[in-house]
Amino acid sequence: MFTLSQILLQNLVRTGEEMGSRERRVVFVTIGTTCFDALVKAVDSEEVKEALLHKGYTDLLIQMGRGTYMPSKDSGNSTLQVDYFTFSPSIADYIREASLVISHAGSGSIFETLRLGKPLIVVVNEGLMDNHQSELAEELADRKDLFCARPQTLQETVEAMDLNNLLPYIPGDAKQVVTLINKFLGFPVD
């Protein structure tokens, strides 16, 4: 028996085989475990789908979380293949298969994507109170590790993005912090 995740990945592979020599370029959208209907609606819009198609993407896979908005599998006049699901035990395989990831601003999704070296657009959920996630997304965008958008600016971000402007993410080294904490607590320092 296959899980939904395995079936979706198999369908993406099969779709790629059916496309023949045309290279598959998958956009994976992740909302995490929360509700972020504004992002799902934005990525489901004809304008964003057309912008993705214009950038050469062939498939759009949306992990929609707890949201109530159901995206359309109809890609309108375009040839973009669209599919969606609610949850998966792990999204790592989807991120690995993706050519571009569009994500909510949760730190887990952001850093998992950056560690895997995938281009990333982070869409900030402005509906959250005390939105510390926007600070993280904007800082990483300033460092050119990712692109940052809002649901209403996603189309413009996709149209304007140049993946060559992104820099590889280099994780920080926590040794200095650990050493300071150990000194403060009176533990031996290596």
9-54 pLDDT, tens digit each: 555 554 444 445 568 999 999 999 989 999 999 999 999 999 999 9
Do 53 and 25 form a contact (C-beta atoms < 8 A)?
no
**Rounded Cα gap, residues 103 and 98, in angstroms:** 12
Tell me the pTM. Answer: 0.82
Q: Are strands 59-63 and 120-123 parallel, antiparallel or unpaired?
A: unpaired
- For the stretch 63-119, pLDDT in tens is 999 999 999 987 666 689 999 999 999 999 999 999 999 999 999 999 999 999 999
Backbone angles phi, psi at 59, to 5 degrees: -135, 145
Angle, vertex CA 128, rays to CA 122 and CA 129, nearest 5 = 135
**Rounded Cα gap, residues 75 and 80, in angstroms:** 6
Q: What is the pLDDT of residue 14?
A: 47
Do 72 and 50 form a contact (C-beta atoms < 8 A)?
no
